[in-house]
Each structure stands twice: as structure tokens, then as C-alpha cells.
Amino acid sequence: MEGTNGGKVNISAPAGGRNPGNYFIKILVIIFWIIVWECLSRIINEELFLPSFGSVVLTLIELVQKQEFWSSIANSFARILAGFLLGFASGLMLAVASYKNRAMYELISPLLKVIKATPVASFIILALVWISSANLSILISFLMVLPVSFTNILSGLESADKKLLEMADVFGIGRWKRIKAIYFPAVIPFAVSAVSIGMGFSFKSGIAAEVIGRPANSIGVNLYEAKLYLMIKELFAWTIIIVLLSVLFEKIVMVAIKRYGSIQDRAADL
């Protein structure tokens, strides 16, 4: 990620990020850990404790052929995505309000600190008293993303160049142009960090909420049943699915963020 240039942000992959050699190294690393997994499985020689990589892949292939599999993924993904977006949007609005009004920051800062310090399991158990298990993962994902987005975006706003803001006041630059030229470039790096961290939190906490709340047709209830009935291969298969979904979601969001540069270029011409 590069700095500003005339009030615009250029978001690009790190140098060498698209080098085919880097992808080859990543593939080798994955193969290495698969080999380690397979060796440990053969040493333990007990599928109940550590199934082989091949058996987990076969189980995964069986799962993807079932309609319930895709229904569970769609339901969980939609809930967690909703919680993530609500948390990020709320953090953005609270950060802007706190930046403009110090009293607002003093009012909500203790609450956000409590949210950050409270264990996820405590929130899940308390939330089950107030809402249905179907909406539990939305609330938990929201609560985990809210403090992260608030803190990062507020830091971005406070990092805006004070001299540029003073110059904008002197020349009477309008609010929208000031936002595009000064605040956006300052906030974007912090927002990217919030998205990256928040996505991991939202998926982990959202699935944990589903495991405890057990809403119908969800990844969490499948994990719970796999553990309950000692279906270890299914447990590993669903865990792989969670990791892949988290990575896919992150890639999609990062691609959208990288397109921000071209969007800002077009907006600057308006």
C-alpha cells in the first residue's frame, strides 16, 4: 500500500506479490504441512484421534454432494457477513462522531473497552437470554468487529494532516472535497487493517456462537454434531471449510478495496 498522491490513494499488492515464485513457495509450504499431517496420522494410527488427510478429503467430497451442506454454508455466511458489515458500519459512524465530539468518545470508549475485554463465550451465553439462536452469530460478529473498526478508523481520522486541514480552512474548500482529498487517504490504510482483523474475528466468533446456539442448517450445528457423535473426519472437513470461507471472504473484500483507487479517480472528476 502506497502513500497519497495528490489526495488519492493507490492501493496495490506488495512488490513481488504476483511473482509466480511466491505462489510456488506457498504451494510447497502447504504440501509440507499436508505431509506432516499424514505422517502424524500414520504414527498415531487411529482415525478417531487424527484421521488421514486423504480420508478427510474424501469426507469433504461426500459433504459437498449434499444439499444440506450448501444450505448450512449459505446460512452461516450470510449471518456472519451481516454481523461484520453492521459492526464495521457502526464503528465507522461512531468513529466519525467521536472525532468531531470528544464528549462522544468519552461516553462510548468505556463500553467498547468492556466489549474487547469480555470473553466471547460470555457474550454468547448472555445473548442467548435476549435473542434467538438464529440471530446469535449476527450479534456476536457485530460485537467483535465494532471495537476493531472504531479504533482503527478513529486513528485514521486523527492521523489526517493538520496542515492540509488548516489550508483547507483558509481556502474555504468544501466538505466533500476535504473528505476525498485529506480524510480518505488518511483513513484507508487503517480501514484495510480493520477489515483484515475484523474478518478473522467475525468468522471465529460467529462459528463459536453457532456451536453454542446450534441454529438449524448452520456450520456450527454441523460442527457440534460431528463432535458429539465422534465423527472426527467430518469435524476436520468442516474446519477446513471454515478456513477456506474466511480466506475467500478476505480475498473478495481486499479486491473490492483495491478497486477503491479507480473509484476515487472517477469521483475526483465529478
The CATH number of whichever domain residue 190 belongs to comes to 1.10.3720.10
Rounded distance, CA 207 to CA 213, Å? 10
Q: Establish if 32 belongs to a structural domain.
A: no
Q: Establish if 31 belongs to a structural domain.
A: no
Q: What is the total count of domains within the chain?
A: 1
Mean pLDDT of 203-221: 90
Q: Establish if 6 belongs to a structural domain.
A: no
Please write the tens of the pLDDT for every residue from 244-257: 888 887 777 777 76
Residue 15 banded pLDDT, cuts 50, 70, 90: very low
Place of cell 478456513: 243
Mean pLDDT of 70-86: 92
- The residue that leads in pLDDT, 55 or 163, is 55
Q: Establish if 259 belongs to a structural domain.
A: yes
Q: Establish if 11 belongs to a structural domain.
A: no
Q: Establish if 244 belongs to a structural domain.
A: yes
Q: Establish if 149 belongs to a structural domain.
A: yes
Question: The domain containing residue 235 runs over which residues?
Answer: 59-268
Share of the chain above pLDDT 70, in %: 87
Q: Establish if 24 belongs to a structural domain.
A: no
**Is residue 60 scored above 90 in pLDDT?**
yes
Task: Using alpha carbons only, give the angle 255, 261, 264 rounded to the nearest 5 degrees.
Answer: 130
**Is residue 109 scored above 50 in pLDDT?**
yes
Letter for the amino acid at 200?
A: G
CA-based nearest residue to 238, from 25, 69, 35: 69
How much is the pLDDT for 253?
74
Please write the tens of the pLDDT for every residue from 137-192: 999 999 999 999 999 999 999 988 888 877 877 777 777 888 888 888 888 889 88
Phi, psi of 29 (to 5 degrees): -65, -45
How much is the pLDDT for 118?
87
Residue 85 banded pLDDT, cuts 50, 70, 90: very high
SS3 230: coil
